[in-house]
Amino acid sequence: MVHRLRRVVTAALLGAAALAACRGEAPGESGDAVGRLVDSLRPAVERTVGLPFKAPPRFAVRSRAQVATYLATKLDEELSPERLAAMHDVYRLLGQVPDSLDIRRLLTALYEEQVAGFFDPDSGMLFVYEGSDVKSAQFKFVLAHELVHALQYDYLALDSIMHQRRDSDRLAAAQAMLEGQATLASMKMMVPGRDLLNDDAIWETFREQLLAARGSMQVFAETPRVLQEGLIFPYLAGAEFVRWYERNRAEAGQPYGAAIPVSTEQVLHPQRYARRDMPVDVPLDTVGAEPGESDVMGEMGLAVLSADMAGNEVVSTTVPIGWAGDRYRLYQSPEGPALVWLIAWDDQRAADRFLVGTGTRLSAGARPGYRTAVEAREVAGHPGTRVVIAPIDWAGWSALP
């Protein structure tokens, strides 16, 4: 469910991770200086990605206040108050964020931690913050990363990809490809001569630095883990996926169009991508006359939930969990929000593992005035699980799908 936000923490995280550069007050630079840097980086971006720009990349230098106003408008367009409230309700019912969290205020504060700039697919414009130090290695890395997105914009309908609805897992997978390609390409440009496709050491260092960079961003460091992981996933997992793709599928061309991964499972476990292990479409009938917000959690979301429920410090994604597909729906009732979630598994072992692990912990952490029911049942022809977290007096208990 965290999607556009991923595009506005790129510089702060990636710049610190890849270059370990320090943020400082830099002298203001003119648009001419930025333009010269864009022109100097453009050939390297084209060469590294393997595609030419169809038109010169467009950029604009704006003050932080101007960008903040623009991003606030974009946030309101994409995430209405109702959708933000639904996002909060799902996470708090699952015990992943506090009831008191103001998600809109958090997103706004995260915007304010952004440094350098970002590419906006809606306008096709690369925005650079006024006062950025265009001579720094950090700025150069970030600009190279964002120029890759500008190049992707020439060949993909990024705005439609970013505005997918009701399948956040598929959106996260697409974003992982986009961010992964931009991350890998910009790192190649910054460390020419290094074999980034086969050098595991540099990737481990990058991972460690990216995770460590969280602590240098006060707002991000205090953000609930479910949101943190959603923001970091496209860069870490995405870079690893594109690295695998370039080693194993380079002859197939760019990972665009039908080659875009369609689930976080495919991103985390490329062997599933290679054999086209497609997500199961999970039908979820509505309860009552008013349908609620519906979405897909996906493998990555389940991995974070499992880590949260178990109290694990690290989210484990090394081994596939056996996810086949899922869908949840949120309902609003006079008694409070209610969540109905169906999960399909690859086999009975995976279903049983969830039931006795995360399922048991969910049931044990029931909210006051709420009932949590986690039950085994067939879902879309697969061994499955139904999770219901709803007020005790919710009318929907008698008509569950």
Gyration radius (Cα) of the chain, Å: 22
Q: Which two tokens stand for residue 189?
A: 């440009």
DSSP per residue, 156-167: S-HHHHHT--S-
For 84, left (φ over 0), alpha (ψ -120 to 50), or beta? alpha
pLDDT digits (tens, 9 = 90+) for 322-367: 999 999 999 999 999 999 999 999 999 999 999 999 999 999 988 9
| pLDDT value at residue 210 | 76
Q: Which two tokens stand for residue 71?
A: 């991003």
| pLDDT value at residue 16 | 52
Q: How far apart are CA 103 and CA 283, in angstroms?
A: 29
| pLDDT value at residue 107 | 82
Tokens 């090394």 — which residue? Answer: 318
Mean pLDDT to the nearest integer, 134-152: 91
pLDDT digits (tens, 9 = 90+) for 385-400: 999 999 999 999 999 9
Please, are residues 294 and 266 in contact by the beta-carbon 8 Å criterion?
no
pLDDT digits (tens, 9 = 90+) for 63-88: 888 887 887 888 888 788 888 999 99
* Mean of pLDDT over the chain: 88
pLDDT band at 25 (very low <50, low <70, confident <90, very high): very low
CA-CA-CA-CA torsion for 177, 179, 181, 183, nearest 10 degrees?
-150
pTM: 0.91
Handedness of CA 322, 233, 373, 288 (dihedral sign): negative
Sequence-distant contacts of 156-165: CB under 8 A, at least 24 apart: 156/256, 156/257, 158/121, 159/121, 159/122, 161/121, 162/3, 162/4, 162/7, 162/121, 162/122, 163/78
Higher pLDDT: 158 or 34? It is 34
Mean pLDDT to the nearest integer, 159-173: 82
Mean pLDDT to the nearest integer, 197-211: 81
Q: Which two tokens stand for residue 150?
A: 């500008």
Higher pLDDT: 274 or 31? It is 274
Q: How far apart are CA 44 and CA 16, in angstroms?
A: 22
Please, are residues 305 and 297 in contact by the beta-carbon 8 Å criterion?
yes
Q: How far apart are CA 210 and CA 214, in angstroms?
A: 7
